[in-house]
A and B are shown apart, each in its own frame.
Chain A
Amino acid sequence: DAGVTQSPTHLIKTRGQQVTLRCSPISGHKSVSWYQQVLGQGPQFIFQYYEKEERGRGNFPDRFSARQFPNYSSELNVNALLLGDSALYLCASSPGGSNYNSPLHFGNGTRLTVT
């Protein structure tokens, strides 16, 4: 079975531009979470989606938005990019619902560089 897939793997953008990152969860998983990992730090929670609805949001500005599609894939959008948005963006999937004790499964991430 395919794991969590993210695209693109690398991206270079200029300050002020907008970017869209994509994630496909493991087959059968209905929950997708997004994390930002700055070099040398642990991942920081951005969003969780379950059944196309936002279930949680971390401490990130409104420039960050996301959505989940009927096939449970997800997109993360970041507007008005800043240099500080440069990071590895990770997507994780899990069965969701009341399965709080199912492990998170991560993709390999998208490396975003803002110049």
Chain B
Amino acid sequence: KQEVTQIPAALSVPEGENLVLNCSFTDSAIYNLQWFRQDPGKGLTSLLLIQSSQREQTSGRLNASLDKSSGRSTLYIAASQPGDSATYLCAVRDTGGFKTIFGAGTRLFVKA
């Protein structure tokens, strides 16, 4: 049974700091891993999707890496801003194709 874990559960950093969010999964049989952002009471916004054959994806100040064999992914946020404050969720799509399994998320607070 696939399980997704995110560490840390919460993080508070000063503005401008570079930071790394961690995600681990127990079963390497995945199609892809997706990182999302969720603002309080809102839906999820897709940030990056890494296919199982890829090692990393970049979008602006965000860089996500994937090590499928070890069951790990990281989301790197450069030069953090107060507007980055949100919950960040990682999710893996299993090879059955229909189920995406989420971690509990990391709550990020960037102090001005």
A105 within 8 A of B: yes
Number of residues on chain B facing chain A (CB within 8 A): 26
Give the contact stretch, choosing among B14-22, B43-51, B68-76, B77-85. Answer: B43-51
Chain A residues near B32: list those with CB within 8 A: 100-101
Chain B interface residues toward A at CB < 8 A? 4, 31-32, 34, 36, 41-46, 49, 51, 89, 91, 93, 96-105
Chain A residues near B4: list those with CB within 8 A: 42
Task: Judge whether A103 and B46 touch: CB under 8 Å.
Answer: yes
Task: Judge whether B89 and A42 touch: CB under 8 Å.
Answer: yes
Question: A-B pairs with CB below 8 Å: how many?
Answer: 64
Chain B residues near A58: list those with CB within 8 A: 99
Chain A interface residues toward B at CB < 8 A? 4, 6, 33, 35, 40-45, 48, 50, 55-56, 58, 88, 90, 92, 100-101, 103-109, 111
CA distance A48 to B100 in the complex (A): 10
CA distance A90 to B102 in the complex (A): 13
Chain B binding surface SS class: strand
B10 to chain A, nearest CB (A): 11
CA distance A48 to B99 in the complex (A): 8
A45 CB contact (under 8 Å) in B36, B44, B99, B105: B99
CA distance A48 to B105 in the complex (A): 22
CA distance A88 to B43 in the complex (A): 9
